[in-house]
Structure 1
Amino acid sequence: MIMSLDHVQLAAPPGSEDRLRAFYVGVLGMTEVPKPASLAGRGGCWFRAGDAQLHLGIDPDFHPATKAHPGLRVRDIDAYAARLAAHGEDVTWDDGLPGHRRFYAHDPVGNRLEFVTG
């Protein structure tokens, strides 16, 4: 029986770890989680905020996820959207989910991210 979602993994191109850290820690406010020694040699980065974990794995044949995406629940969605915009990130609002407010943005390698509240 599934009890909860442990993490979501997104792909990233080789050599993108510093850009990912700057975005996921510096812009989104997540905390980097050290990868286990047995996996660290593969590159990539892991991040956490509350119970949410995102793993960014290196893929030599990387193509950004343009439709598939993690949905990240946030407090004060307007302030969060303003935070991303202040860092030069494009924010696209979407009112297609009744009872919720949400917007989309992309990480520095082009992966789509959804931010939602409600």
Structure 2
Amino acid sequence: MPRFHHANLGVPPGLEEVEGTFLVDVLGYRRMEVPADLAGIARWYEATDGSQIHLSIDPDHRPAARAHTAIEVDEDVVVLETRLAAAGITFRSAGRGDLTVLFCVDPAGNHWELRHPAGNPAAG
């Protein structure tokens, strides 16, 4: 059975630090060490469940118009909205059945869908 391991997202040169800050400070990933042969061209981040986001530094990066990365978040939606706003990340919120979904674009222009189950005990 397939199991999700990581998504690889592009980031233009010079935005890797701000993109990493988004992943760590807003979404709660932790930075990982990359193999020596990837130093300077990739950065890796990991969530508590072991899933990862890999960033590839790409001088030709062009964000997709519709493609996006969707993750489930346990964080209280109000706390997450506050962190997004504090980081200068605009977002929109929508209900999807028993979900609250926040849609945003990260500093590199990549689209995100942040899904929060309404039945989650962390729900605010």
Q: TM-score range by the shorter chain?
A: 0.7 to 0.9
Alpha-carbon distance in structure 1 between the residues aligned to 2:86 and 2:57: 28
Alpha-carbon distance in structure 1 between the residues aligned to 2:67 and 2:60: 17
Give the aligned partner of residue 40 of structure 1.
39
Verify the 8 A CA contact 1:12 1:44 in the aligned structure 2: no
SS in 2 for 1:79: helix
Q: Partner amino acid for 1:27?
A: V
SS in 2 for 1:60: coil
SS in 2 for 1:29: coil
Offset at residue 40 of structure 1 (A):
2.0
Offset at residue 8 of structure 1 (A):
0.7
- Unaligned runs of 5+ residues in structure 2 are 118-124
Give the aligned partner of residue 61 of structure 2.
62
Alpha-carbon distance in structure 2 between the residues aligned to 1:15 and 1:90: 21
Q: Give the alignment partner of residue 49 of structure 1, picking from 47, 50, 53.
A: 47
Aligned residues: 115
1:80 aligns with 2:62: no
- After superposition, give the CA deviation of every residue in 1:42-66 in whole Å (9 maximum; x if it has no partner): x131111212311111222110133
| TM-score (ref. length: structure 2) | 0.81
Q: Higher strand proportion, which one?
A: 2
| TM-score (ref. length: structure 1) | 0.85
Q: Partner amino acid for 2:18?
A: R
Identity %: 37
Offset at residue 38 of structure 1 (A):
2.2
SS in 1 for 2:68: coil
Give the aligned partner of residue 111 of structure 1.
110
Verify the 8 A CA contact 1:66 1:110 in the aligned structure 2: no
Q: Partner amino acid for 2:57?
A: I
For 1:3-18, what aligned pairs fall within 5 Å after superposition? Answer: 4-18=3-17
